Amino acid sequence: MKNASMARYRWLVASRVLAAALGGYALTSALTVLLSLVWPLPKSQAVLAATMLSFTLYAVAVIWVFSVRSVTRAWLGMVIPTAVVALLCWVLQSGGAA
């Protein structure tokens, strides 16, 4: 019984690590693109500012994944905002406005 409990705990931690690494990267990338599109700066400066901010956003995403109560909430907290932000990026770009 103790080995099964320990294995389950390890899988939950591994799932959080994947959610933080992969989900955090996807969310941060999508937010960086969105910020680059909406900031009222020249395009090169908007991209640079969004990229610099992305390091902080990624750290916040990783911390959040490990601070929530359940692994399911951690995954949903990465997947749903990433999908929403990606959709906003698609709409804001010229291809999405058609």
**Residue 64: which pLDDT band, with cuts at 50, 70 and 90?**
very high
> Of 5, 37, 23, which is closest to residue 72 (Cα–Cα)?
23
How buried is 61 (Cβ within 10 angstroms: 0-12 exposed, 13-18 middle, 19+ buried)? buried
Task: Output the pLDDT for position 57.
Answer: 95
The domain containing residue 21 runs over which residues? 2-95
State what percent of residues in the chain have pLDDT above 70: 95
Residue 36 identity (one-letter amino acid): S
Number of domains in the chain: 1
pTM of the model: 0.85
